[in-house]
Amino acid sequence: MSGGHDPDEALVSGVGRGDPASVRAFVSAKLPRMAALAFRMLGDATEAQDVAQEVFVRVWRHAPTWRPGPARFDTWMHRVALNLCYDRLRKRREIAVDVLPEREDDGPRPDAGLMAADTGARVAAALAALPDRQREAVVLAHYQELGNIEAAALMEVSVEALESLLSRARRGLRAALADLKTQ
């Protein structure tokens, strides 16, 4: 959500016309952003690439008829990517429910030592353990660097609700990573 000029307007227009230079420039600019968003939401590089690819399939269909409006094209892409991520998260849960009786979650994780040695992996695991909406808030506001109004609009919540989600998420992350904070 932005109002005003959409910085992607000229590129999207070129993409809509099938201009090869615009397509190349657009993909170079947006692919890392979409792949990062999907990876942070899903925690899986292969799935993130699939989501990014699917986002661009939608872009090819949407760009020829797109006209600048209140929402930026980049915001629309974020919405598409998030929807695709939530589809996959839902499927994961369905599968997890199917196999739940066979899982044993008690006791130390076999990879705990390895994860302690790798701060990045620890942080990724802590992010993945957050409730989906809290993780979405962190991904949009912190990693994707969207403004609070734009992030709140994307999540279809008020700015106050976004701040509440962010606070709870960061509190959870702080607790999960407490042993790393002093290092």
Binding site for another protein (CB under 8 A): 15, 17-20, 23-24, 27-28, 31-32, 35-36, 39-40, 45, 48-49, 52-53, 56-57, 60, 119-121, 123-124, 127, 138, 141-143, 145, 147-148, 159, 162-164, 166-167, 170-171, 173-174, 177, 180-181
Nearer to another protein, 48 or 75 (CB): 48
Nearest approach, Cβ of residue 171 and another protein (Å): 7
Minimum CB distance to another protein, residue 39 (Å) = 6
CA distances from 105 to 23, 32, 34, 132 (A): 47, 35, 32, 20
Of 6 and 52, CB closest to another protein? 52
Compute the Cα dihedral for 107, 111, 117, 121 and give only its sign. negative
Q: How far is the CB of 115 from another protein (least distance, A)?
A: 13
**Which residue number, 82 or 166, has a Cβ lying nearer to another protein?**
166
**Which one, 99 or 160, has the nearer CB to another protein?**
160
